[in-house]
Every structure is written in C-alpha cells, then in structure tokens.
Structure 1
Amino acid sequence: MSRAGDLARHYSRFRVADRLLLTGHSHQAWPDVARDAILEAYDDAALAVDEKWGRAQQRAERLRDGVRALLGDPGAAVALGANTHELVVRFLSALDLRTRPRLVTTDGEFHSARRQLDRLAETGLEVVKVPARPVATLAERLAAAVDDRTAAVVVSSVLFETSQLVPGLDGVAAACARTGTELLVDAYHQLGVVPLSVHEAGLTDAWVVGGGYKYLQLGEGNCFLRLPPHADGLRPVITGWYAEFGDLSGSAAGTVAYARGSDRFAGSTYDPTSHYRAARVLDFFAEQGLTPPRLREISLHQRGLLADAFDDLDLPAELVTRDRETPADGFGGFLTLFTAQAARLQAALAECGVLTDSRGPHLRFGPAPYLTDEQLTEAMGMLGEVAAGTR
C-alpha cells in the first residue's frame, strides 16, 4: 500500500512533492495516468471518428461502476453530467411543482443548488431554508419542515463551508416517504473521504448527486445523479435527446417518450474526454489500494494532524479559531478555521506558496493522500507566520 511519499511520484505533472497544495477539498491533483487517458481519447477519435462513441461508452460505464461502488449500490441507475447543476436542474424539472410548490433546503448548500433555488423562489415557489447550524439537529429540523405540499428536500451530507457531516438523514428520508416528497442528497464532499452506503444510511429511496472534481481526482466533467428505484415514474421537463435512446416507455401517444433507467435523465452530446480520464483514475485508485476505508483512514490522520498543528500555534481565538466541539469523525475531508480575516490570510499564505481557500469567515485547509505529514506541518506553520505578521 502506497505511502504519501511513494504516491506523490505518480503526480509528477502537478508537482505535488514540491508544492503545498492545501485545496484538496476543492480540486485535487490528477495522477499522471489522467494525461495518458486524455491522449487516448484523442487517438480513439482520430482512429474511429464517428465510431468513437462505442469506445467512449465503455469509459462512461466504468465511471458508473465506480459511482456504484462508492455508494455501496451495485445495481444503481446512474445518470452522468458535466456538472451537478445540470443534473439538479433535470431533477427539479421532474417534480410536480404546480401541486406541490414547496422546496425545503438549508442555508448551508453549495452554490449549484443555492443559486438555482433562490432564483426559483423569485418566481413564486416557496423555498424554505432551514438553518444548517447546529448540525446535530439539522436532520430533525428538516424532517419537521416536510409536509404534503413539499416537492423535495435538498440537503448536503457534508456541509461545504465547515466540513461537518450531517447525521440522521435517514430521518429525513422517512419524513419524505410519509409525505410523498423526494429527497436529494448532495454527497460531493463525502465521496472519497467518508465511506457511504446508501442502503445502510437509510437512503435507498433518495436521489444522490456528486462528482469527481474534488476528492476523487477525476477532474471536470464527471458528475453523476444516482436515481432511486421509483425514478422511472418521473418525466423531467429539461430533457436531452440522449433520453430517447434504449427501451422507451411511460408515454402516451403524442407525448415525449423517455428511456428506462438512468437514460431517462440523460443529456445530449458531450465531450467524452472526461470519462476517459475518470476510467483511468478509478483504475489507478484500485491499483494503489485507495479504497473508501483507506481514504477515510488517511483523511482522519491528515485532518487531525492539521488540527493539532493549528492548536500548537496558540493563536488568539479572536483572530482565528476552529470547531473543537464536533468529534474528529464528525468531519469530512478538510479543516475549517473561523476568522474575520479569512481572505487576507488566504492571500498571505498564497504569497508564501501555501494554497488554501476561503468562503466568507471560513479559511479552509484541504489535504490530499499524496501530501506528506511534513508538508502539512509546514503549511500550518506558515499560517502562524502570516498571522504574526512575520511573513
């Protein structure tokens, strides 16, 4: 099994051994095999021209298999998309918003959902935003907000600003089942750092959206929507012509027909290069033993090391602090520091060669499996220097 130092050699193009890349929660480096896959996509296009699509579909199916494995759901129907927004929009367009004009969400959702839901609220839909904090009672409060006018609940399994896991989503699923409400779970910040089994989590009937741009190292263009078993009963209004492929069903004469399964939520012509890249990287993870349990082990170690290194700095709490109440296993893959000077500290760290990011008062440090303990300690040490004004 690869250690961080050994693993780093597989990322020579991104020079991970020479740079302090602490944006692993936003965009992890790609292994060198990803470049080989991009060249392979070009060569297949040049060789096969229009016949390249058969080869591309093999890579797309490899990506679907990878998603199924990550979700612990080997039989899942998985729709693919370039980004989560297009998949969320197709999902929303399948809801009966005329008779159930109410959507329930939180005030801690990522921008793909937040902006779209805010815009829908401007059109007259009722969008209820439940405060994300305290996270311990979030699921309970979401469940209480669901009624028979609610079309869907949209919630993340890990909050993108704080890295806190949202416990008790099975309770939200139960409330949705009682009222005929759909549940959409954004697992983007969970997959690759916290193992997930949709059945064990009580989310068999939930929709799950996510992508490979962050912890999975798949790069752009590799997002997915896991469909629940009852999805064949829905007809998305936003629909691409790929949804006409396969076994068509569920339409009366003179109405638009839809394929069964994941193709029901398919889009249209796309750039298959991303799926070539994903297929190679998923194989690389398997070769390196980077399974969900192993990735969780690495993540807990690295985040814990960063937290301890931050505490050792003994910086004034009024300048910068962290959540010390949530247990270590209550977080996902990054460390959030709370500071009114997040943007300034991020910029100062970048000048020192430490790449982090900030969202409002949140300064985020995101490790990755190819970083060594020494690199993480050095990066946090730089925070101490910029906070003290010595750098």
Structure 2
Amino acid sequence: MKIGCPKEIKPQEFRVGLIPAAAAEATGRGHDVLVETGAGIGAGFTDEDYTKAGAKIAPDAASVFDAADLIIKVKEPQAGERKMLRKGQILFTYLHLAPDADQTRDLLDSGVTAIAYETVTDARGGLPLLAPMSEVAGRLAPQVGSWALQKANGGRGVLLGGVPGVAPANVVIIGGGVVGAAAARVAVGMGANVTVMDRSVARLSYLDDVFMGKLTTQYASEAATAQLIRSADMVIGAVLIPGAAAPKLVSHAQLSTMPQGAVLVDVAIDQGGCFETSRATTHQDPIYEVDGVVHYCVANMPGAVARTATQALGNVTMPHLMALADKGWRQALIDDPHLRAGLSTHEGQLTSVPVGQALGLDAVTADAVLGL
C-alpha cells in the first residue's frame, strides 16, 4: 500500500502524523511511504530522518494526496486538503466531526473512507488514540491557565501555588477522566487548591485514593458547578462524550458570578467546547475575554509541545496503521471491532451515529457498511 503523510497546515500545528519509526516499520513490510518535505520539522524530524527510514520525500501536499492510498495526519483535513481527497482513499487522523458540519459534508462528498483517531476504542472501553493527547492537553491546561491568570494577560494576577501567608489559587476541573486526572496532577504539583468534578462516583473514589487527600472531589451536579465557579480562579473543562458534541456546563449568564479575571481553559474545544462562550482559538492568538473572564480555547493544545506529542501519538497509531496497510481497511475493520469504531465516513455514507445526531444527518453503522 502507498502511505502518504502531508505537512500539517492548521495554524501553529507543529506535529506530524507519521514518525520515522513508523515509516521504517511500513517500508520494512513492503509498503511505499511518501512524506511531504518539511512535514516533520516542527516535531524535530528532518527529511533525512525519513529517507533513512526508507520513505520518499514529496515536493508538496498535492503529490502526497495524489499518490497515496492511505493518508495519515494529525489534525482534521483543512478545506484545501479536503478537495484533494477521493473515493477509494483512506484517511486516518483526528476528525472531531460533531461540531463541524462543513468538514463532515466535504468528507461525504469526497467519498473518502475516513477513520477517526478519537473514536477508536480498546478492550477496556478506553480511547487509546485519544488518551496520549488527552494526557498532554491535561498536563498543559494548568500551565497555560496560570499564564492566562497573569495580570499582563488579562487575568486576576493570582499565583497558582500562592506564597506563605497568601492562599493558593482555586482550580476547578470539570471531568475526572484522562484529561482531568492529568490536569489535577500538574495543578496539585503547582500548589493549587484543586477540586475535581465528575458524575462517576467510582472515578471520584479512584482519584481520591490516587491523590491521597491532596485534592477535593465533588459530584458534578449543576448546583455544585454553579457554586464552585463563584470562587474559582481557574476552571478547566475536561468533559468528553466520545464522537459527540461536548455538553455546555458553564453558561454565559454564569460568567457574571465568577471573579473578574478568572480563567476558563476549555480542553473540550475540539468537540465544540464545554463552556457556552467558548470559541476555538490558536496558539498565535490563544485567549479572549468575555464579561471579564479570560478564555483559553486553543483547539490543538498538544501542538505546543510537538515533539513529545508526535512521539506519543505515533506510538499508539502505529499498530493500527500497520493493520490498515497490511490488510486493507475492510479486513482490518472486520478483524478489529475497536478500530471499526473509528469509521466515520465511507463512500458518501456517514458511519458515526453520534455525529449524525449532532448534525441532524442520517447515519449507518460501520457493521452495516461491512455487511456484519
């Protein structure tokens, strides 16, 4: 199979979809690998690293899209890239279709077979291709939030860990999953007063045990959320419903109840955001203010630490990439129900029911497409 890796073109996105180790694995199995020149530079990988791994270097993205049977990326294809996709081609990347009607329509029109990293599952019910980026984004959230809290950036001027005689910042994390736990680890380490909210008592119990009393756990009712944000210096939105749009957990009206200069960090922005006033931003222009509350809503947070994030993503995508290349998409999905869960579009059909529900579109199941 011909595997193609174009350079990411989303603003301030420095990751790359294919690491040299994966290129070497693929070429060692007899596959052709084509990488756009400069694709790996942002993550610290040179064209020479790829050629040593057996890959060929393409002069531009069009050459990659034209030649490849399987396109591997990091972020969702941008409008210009979507025009280069075609029926019979496989696209393997993050898609986040639920809040993105334009992308969904373009993928359906192209006829491409699109498999979304974020909905591939595992035997434990987890999301293994999303988890490493969730870890990265979660660990970054208190870091970027503390930057946004600085007075020069519009924040309250509060130091997360405080100092002797001055109380630390109050950090509320909504969602105790992979993102929330990672954010809590860093926020606690920075000395903040941390509360994690979740609707799973079992998850709250787990976090209480792991952190050994160094944070507070709270069942995530609407009333509890409303009460906690009134005294929060930072609120981190870390809620995910796989494949679906994120629920809105803090309303516009509630911003007036928060301290002036408080910070909202929306890690769920890829799925539409979990604050009513959230809108996607970039690393180049990461924050904005609504009613005196600073919002950080960068849609590709892990891109800020591109080398770490690329290596972490490459480690988990490699086995699935090899399965798709070795077997073809159909047999790979028949053999692996967890990879099958990632199928989002195929030859003009939407194959993600949650996306269909979010966008009001008809959808069929992956099983139906495969005749299972």
Question: So what's the TM-score if we normalise by structure 1?
Answer: 0.34
Higher relative contact order (CA 8 A, sep 6+): 1
The two structures have a TM-score, normalised by structure 2, of 0.36
